Amino acid sequence: MNNYLSLSPEVKQALEQGKPVVALESTIISHGMPYPQNVETALRVEQTIRENGAVPATIAIIGGKLKAGCTPEEIEYLGKKGQAITKASRRDLPVLIARGEDGATTVTTTMIIAAMAGIKVFATGGIGGVHRGAEKTMDISADLEELAQTPVMVICAGAKSILDLGLTLEYLETKGVPVIGYGTEELPAFYTRHSGFKVDYRIDTPEELAAAFKAKIDMGLKGGMLVTNPIPEEYSMPADVINKAIDTAIAESVKAGIHGKETTPFLLAKVKELTGGDSLVSNIQLVLNNARLAAKTASALAK
Ligand code: PSU
Ligand code: MN
């Protein structure tokens, strides 16, 4: 452990006693949803993890400390400050920490901090990936590199088709990251259950997810595992509605000259604006669904 890491008493005790712990990211709180739904959702996700037998560890950077386990007050702070909190990826850590600043952790930095703390399972909504047009822009999320090197299982609802899902899968294949479909052979696309792309393996139980991840760690194969869990049918969105919104959002981002770390938040906000409250309801439900699966998988892994 290092001087920069700060575990909440509950998370520290759970890890010492070998109890199941599930990591949660904070970019989804500060940048992914509007206030106050972001705070309500973050607290509900924590509650869902508890109800399913694990301890939640919301991860964030507060005052230059790498936090694993935030208090409700800290979650309120992250949600209320929103976009004013730096979206922190791997390259942001050194300066933010040295300056004692705050940061909302992406999938990348949540994995880094979870691994430092000894947390193996992480639940979120969607991951970053290879952007459409990356053959020109080279915009590829650091999330993919992190999955290639850091030993954390990430449970998500797939990736939004703001990305090039085919290229994202190719990249993960090159990097040796197993892509699992939970109860499905098809990669889910966040708001919808279907993308037309196949995952590497279909797994149907938390126990089998745990066994596969344990085998990976035991063999000393570096990197994580990506579990894609489709949004529950009743909350999935019509594909034509969401695809139209995504196409419009991408066209607007190109016109506005958006690039770098602003791209993903810009596209997510535009899609939300174009689809109204429906996409927010779906977003909340798929995160809760991932939290349930993550708690069960962390429990299976702890046995
Ligand atoms: N995709 C989503 N919702 C999100 C993100 C991505 O559907 O909230 C966030 C996650 O924190 C992810 C980050 O790690 O955006 C990726 O950003 P970038 O594409 O700039 O790497
Ligand atoms: Mn990027």
Express each pLDDT in 147-161 by its tens digit.
999 999 999 999 998
Report helix angle 277-302 to 263-275, nearest 10.
Answer: 120
How many Å lie between the centroid of ligand 2 and the Cα of residue 168? 13
Measure the CA–CA gap between 127 and 37, rounded to whole angstroms.
Answer: 20
pLDDT over threshold 90, residue 111: yes
pLDDT over threshold 80, residue 102: yes
pLDDT over threshold 70, residue 1: no
Q: Residue 2: which pLDDT band, with cuts at 50, 70 and 90?
A: confident
Query: Which atom of ligand 1 lies nearest, measured to the CA of 89?
Result: 21
Is 160 a known active-site residue?
yes
Alpha carbon 134 to chain centroid distance?
A: 21
DSSP 8-state secondary structure symbol assigned to residue 65:
E
Q: Are 121 and 159 in contact (CB under 8 A)?
A: no
Whether 125 lines ligand 1, by a CB cut-off of 6 Å, is: yes
The gap between the terminal CA atoms of the chain, to the nearest Å, is 24
Whether 126 lines ligand 1, by a CB cut-off of 6 Å, is: yes
Q: Which of 25, 46, 76, 146 is catalytic?
A: 25
Select the more confidently predicted residue: 279 or 174. 174
Whether 92 lines ligand 1, by a CB cut-off of 6 Å, is: no
> Which pLDDT value is given to residue 42?
98
Residue 238's CB is within 10 A of a number of other CB atoms, namely 12
Q: Are 156 and 141 in contact (CB under 8 A)?
A: no
| Boundaries of every domain in the chain | 5-302
Measure the CA–CA gap between 66 and 64, rounded to whole angstroms.
Answer: 7
User: What tens digit of pLDDT does each residue of 269-297 get?
Assistant: 999 899 988 889 999 999 999 999 999 99
For range 178-188, the mean pLDDT:
98
From 232, 230, 239, 214, select the one nearest 181 (Cα to Cα). 230
From 11, 203, 40, 26, select the one nearest 119 (Cα to Cα). 11
Q: Are 229 and 157 in contact (CB under 8 A)?
A: yes
Q: Residue 250: which pLDDT band, with cuts at 50, 70 and 90?
A: very high
> Which pLDDT value is given to residue 191?
96
Q: Which of 67, 87, 120, 160 is catalytic?
A: 160
User: What tens digit of pLDDT does each residue of 133-147 get?
Assistant: 999 999 999 999 999
CATH topology of domain 5-302: Indigoidine synthase fold (3.40.1790)
DSSP per position, 92-117: GHHHHHHHT--BEE-HHHHHHHHHHH
Longest dimension (CA), the chain: 53
Strand partners, 68: 7, 59
The Cα angle at residue 150 between residues 41 and 218, in degrees rounded to 5: 115
As a whole-number percent, the residues of the chain with pLDDT over 70 amount to 100
From 170, 228, 240, select the one nearest 203 (Cα to Cα). 228
Whether 279 lines ligand 1, by a CB cut-off of 6 Å, is: no
- Taking CA atoms only, the protein residue closest to ligand 1 atom 1 is 126
From 196, 197, 277, select the one nearest 241 (Cα to Cα). 277
Is 207 a known active-site residue?
no
How many Å lie between the centroid of ligand 2 and the Cα of residue 163? 10
pLDDT over threshold 80, residue 229: yes
> Which pLDDT value is given to residue 245?
95
Whether 28 lines ligand 1, by a CB cut-off of 6 Å, is: yes
Backbone angles phi, psi at 158, to 5 degrees: 90, -150
- Given ligand 1 and candidates 143, 192, 272, which is best to mutate, with the most ligand atoms within 8 Å of its CB? 143
Backbone angles phi, psi at 180, to 5 degrees: -105, 140
From 230, 214, 233, 225, select the one nearest 293 (Cα to Cα). 230
